[in-house]
Amino acid sequence: MSKHRPNHTRPVFSAQLRDAIWQVTQPHLPLGIEGRELDDERMWEILTYASVTQLTMESACHELHTAPSGNTVREHLAEALDDDRAQVVALEAQLNAALWAQLPRRVRRRLSQTRFEIAIDLHDIPYHGQPAIDPAEVRRGPAKSGTTHFHSYATLAIVHDHRLPKPVLQLWGEQACRQIGAASRGKRNEYPEWFGRKSLRGGGN
């Protein structure tokens, strides 16, 4: 049986979605790409299309007929995004700032003045290769999908009547599961606008 989802169930990548993504990424996530075939706007269109349709970079570029090759996209992206630890942390801050910018002002005010419970989810993505730069970028855990090594991320969701975007934290090798709470408190200090300046009541999964 094919692993590809049937065409009639594939998510739609609309011009409205593309424009909305560009309005957020342009001020908060500049890549500085100015190639003959590729610039920031085109890069974000390709990345978003690949994400929404769950395709590889090569397949996304093939379906977007005027896009350059997948290799060209990867080369430009590698030049734009340094993958050492400091740059990954800086990118994390940019991504969360982009999420924060989408919240209505009244919600922002409430987040800075009110206590909220938070739910923490841990996401382990099985990894079978070697660390790209920093050994700590790969964490060990219980065996899953034939490996005990993972790229791990935590999402912190504010428990609220309405759905709010989640700040995302990459977990490094030395951050064991029992330290996630401490890591989230550290991120609270780094992003006080998300969690407010008052104490948080613990919650998580």
pTM: 0.61
Sketch the domain layout of the chain as residue ranges: 12-80, 105-195
CA distance 194 to 118: 11
How much of the chain exceeds pLDDT 70, in percent? 71
Residue 127's pLDDT band (boundaries 50, 70, 90)?
A: very high
Question: At residue 194, does pLDDT exceed 50?
Answer: no
Which backbone phi and psi does 137 adopt, to 5 degrees?
Answer: -75, -15
Q: Which tens digits make up the pLDDT trace of 72-87?
A: 999 999 888 877 778 8
How is residue 96 written in tokens?
A: 């969360």
How many Cα neighbours within 13 Å face the side chain of 71? 0
Distance CA 182, CA 134 (A): 22
Q: How confident is residue 102, by pLDDT bands cut at 50, 70 and 90?
A: confident
Cα radius of gyration (the chain): 19
* Helix, coil or strand: residue 147: strand
The per-residue pLDDT for 100 is 78
- How many percent of the chain have pLDDT more than 90? 22
28, 101 Cβ separation under 8 angstroms: yes
Strands (DSSP E) found in the chain: 118-126, 139-144, 147-158, 168-171
The pLDDT of 137-148, averaged and rounded, is: 89
Cα 148 from Cα 142, distance rounded (Å) = 6
Length of the chain: 205
**Cβ contacts of residue 73 below 8 Å, gap of 6+?**
38, 43, 46, 57, 61, 67
